[in-house]
Amino acid sequence: MKLIILDRDGTLNEDRDDFVKSPDEWRPIPGALEACARLYRAGWQLVVATNQSGLARGLFDVATLDAMHAKMNALLAQHGGRIDAVFFCPHGPADGCDCRKPLPGLFHQIAARYQVDLRGVPVVGDSLRDLQAGATAGCEPHLVQTGKGARLDARGLAEIVRQVPGTLVHADLAAFADTLLSHRADPSALASGASVR
């Protein structure tokens, strides 16, 4: 099974310091939906793993979150792609759950749902906690320089690579797709590539 696990805010759509609270506020990062569609057409199944503490904070409800994801998939369908499933943590930082990234609970849910070993499965995110959660579950970490990743200087990028060894850095989701698809004939070439792209 060809599976990719994506973060949402800052990776697929524009991040907001005050949270993405409605479908109107859910705006795709330029090129992200096209990248997802390219990956989907190449035979990859895409799933999202996302912290959504706005639920615990009372900023929106599950129906509104579902509406955001309906918009996401409707826009993706226009490009010939789709997200197979969205796994989300509804808890706040102090709730003590095991599904809020950087803990790997969402990834364990994904592994159980798809009955797959996540070793080597790409995880793509814009922050350290995305990569830590994925790496703990055995995923191959990929950082995009959008969202929170866009705020990192060279030292910040190097620190993430130090904390999550093997991290590959890409300008955005489109650059990640370029890299993955260019190495589809030889998957090991991706893992042996440079740490920063």
Q: Which of 97, 84, 79, 90 is nearest to 37 (CA)?
A: 79
Domain extents for the chain? 3-191
> Of 7, 15, 126, 172, which residue is the catalytic one?
7
> Alpha-carbon distance 26 to 15, whole Å?
9
Mean pLDDT of 16-26: 97
Answer whether residue 197 shows pLDDT above 80.
no
Task: Check residue 119 and give left, alpha or beta (phi > 0: left; psi -120 to 50: alpha).
Answer: beta
Q: CA end-to-end span of the chain, whole Å?
A: 26
142 near 135, Cβ under 8 Å?
Answer: no
pLDDT digits (tens, 9 = 90+) for 91-149: 999 999 999 999 999 999 999 999 999 999 999 999 999 999 999 999 999 999 999 99
Q: Around Cβ 67, how many Cβ atoms within 10 Å? A: 16
Is 66 one of the annotated active-site residues of the chain? no
> Of 9, 15, 130, 172, which residue is the catalytic one?
9
Give the pLDDT of residue 184.
59
pLDDT digits (tens, 9 = 90+) for 62-82: 999 999 999 999 999 999 999
Answer whether residue 188 shows pLDDT above 90.
no
Radius of gyration of the chain (CA): 16
Mean pLDDT of 35-55: 98
Is 9 one of the annotated active-site residues of the chain? yes
| pTM over cut 0.85 | yes
Q: Topology of domain 3-191, per CATH?
A: Rossmann fold (3.40.50)
Question: What's the Cα-to-Cα distance from 25 to each of 13, 18, 33, 68, 195, rounded to whole Å?
Answer: 9, 11, 16, 9, 33
